[in-house]
């Protein structure tokens, strides 16, 4: 096989494999199985809106370990505290991470929380909070 035919065949194969990774159902639009992604130092999107009773799913597709940790003071009245690792307070989550990286969400892992009370929920990543890795979930009726 000459060089042009080889490169042409290789290009076609690469295009087909990339197309298979980009979308589903031929729409060309990816359909992620999460709501909020984690980059090396940010949640994407930073602000996420949902409705009462809905479950929000975070996904770490990054090589760094992260946490999802609620700012306790930002919780609406009657709301349940949430943090990866199952902690029941912000201080417990901070201490757990400091003492053995507890609550870490490593590459490829997910965390989810169901919001039962409307309002604004601020949250952060314990190891990357200083770098600005914070987010907000807005829960509407």
126-139 residue pLDDT tens: 999 999 999 999 99
Phi, psi (deg, nearest 5) at residue 30: -65, 150
Confidence class for position 28, pLDDT limits 50, 70, 90 = low
Note the pTM of the prediction, 2 decimals.
Answer: 0.78
Hey, where are the domains in the chain? 1-31, 36-140
| Coil, strand or helix at 94 | helix
Mean pLDDT of the chain: 85
Q: For 44-48, what is the mean pLDDT?
A: 98
Distance CA 81, CA 65 (A): 21
**What confidence score (pLDDT) does residue 32 get?**
77
Stronger pLDDT, 31 or 67, i.e. the higher one: 67
Q: Are 97 and 103 in contact (CB under 8 A)?
A: yes
In the numeric block, which tokens belong to residue 100? 């053995």
Pairing of strands 55-60, 69-70: unpaired
Q: For 95-114, what is the mean pLDDT?
A: 98
Confidence class for position 29, pLDDT limits 50, 70, 90 = low
Stronger pLDDT, 22 or 94, i.e. the higher one: 94
Confidence class for position 31, pLDDT limits 50, 70, 90 = low
Q: Which CATH number fits domain 36-140: 3.30.70.380, 3.30.110.30, 3.50.40.10, 2.60.40.420?
A: 2.60.40.420
What percent of the chain has a predicted confidence (pLDDT) above 70?
Answer: 78
């Amino acid at each position: 096989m000459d060089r042009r035919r080889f490169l042409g065949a290789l290009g076609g194969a690469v295009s087909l494999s990339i197309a298979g990774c980009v979308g589903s159902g031929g729409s060309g639009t990816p359909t992620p199985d999460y709501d909020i992604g984690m980059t090396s130092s940010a949640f994407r999107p930073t602000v996420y809106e949902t409705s009462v009773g809905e479950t929000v799913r975070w996904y770490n597709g990054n090589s760094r370990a992260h946490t999802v940790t609620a700012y306790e003071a930002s919780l609406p009245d009657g709301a349940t505290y949430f943090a990866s690792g199952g902690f029941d307070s912000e201080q417990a989550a901070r201490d757990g991470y400091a003492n053995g990286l507890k609550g870490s969400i490593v590459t490829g892992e997910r965390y989810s929380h169901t919001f039962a009370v409307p309002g604004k929920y601020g949250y952060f990543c314990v190891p990357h909070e200083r770098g600005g890795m914070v987010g907000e979930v807005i829960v509407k009726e």
